[in-house]
Amino acid sequence: MGDRFKGKVAIVTGASRGIGLGVAERLVADGAQVVITARKPDALRDAAASLGEDRAAWAAGAGDDPEHQRAAVDLALERFGRIDFLVNNAGINPMYGRLIDLDLGAAGKIFAVNVVSAVSWAQLAYRAGMAGHGGAIVNVASIAGLRPAPNIGMYGASKSALIHITEELAVELGPQVRVNAVAPAVVKTRFATALYEGREAEVSAAYPLKRLGTPEDIAGAVTFLLSDDAAWITGQTLAIDGGILLGGGA
């Protein structure tokens, strides 16, 4: 275990598996204590156990539920005494298909979880201590928020909004709190299965680095942005994309 984040406490949303759990694992490995959230208690319990009972606590609930958000923040303060970092990783994409055919109720839910809840989590963490002692926030966006994304257009629009919110919060909360984002391409998680399942070699061939991302790839960038190594970085969105945005992989 390293000590880069010794004495620091993080909340990581959407962290029972995938990118969120990868971030939590890296934070704990670097000395932090974490509160992880997600919807399913059994998966969260197992994830927290894998992180270590003295290093991790968990709170189950919907990411856009205000009562769940407050409970998670309260848990962080009760168990670990402070909040230094927030990683807004929870996100949904219940629709796959053309934007023109999208169910508008689903569109509202996508924005509620992917955008509005990120602001709510930030408000709560800021008021719970970051305003006084400082801290850092990283929002997990997507390269779908940086360019058109056929069949996941509303998800991409929500991630564009999240990138803009990152910039707005960076202006508002400096110098006490830094706010940045990461924009992954396709990462090998259950969430992204529809984008590569059964054709991983074909999808990977379009990337200059010739592979898809892993949660560890994203975790390394997120923890860098949380760390003092990024002390003069705020309001930025880092594309973690294996080179796909360069368009030179084929």
Give catalytic residue positions: 155
Q: Which contacts (CB < 8 Å, 24+ apart) does range 2-8 have?
A: 2/29, 2/30, 2/31, 3/30, 3/31, 4/30, 4/31, 4/223, 4/227, 5/30, 5/31, 5/32, 5/85, 5/223, 5/226, 5/227, 6/31, 6/32, 7/31, 8/32, 8/33, 8/84, 8/85
How far apart (Å, rounded) are the C-alpha atoms in residues 66 and 75?
Answer: 14
How far apart (Å, rounded) are the C-alpha atoms in residues 170 and 175?
Answer: 9
Among residues 179, 178, 185, which one has the least CA distance to residue 144?
A: 185
Q: How many CB atoms lie within 10 A of CB 178?
A: 23
What is the SS3 assignment for 58?
Answer: strand
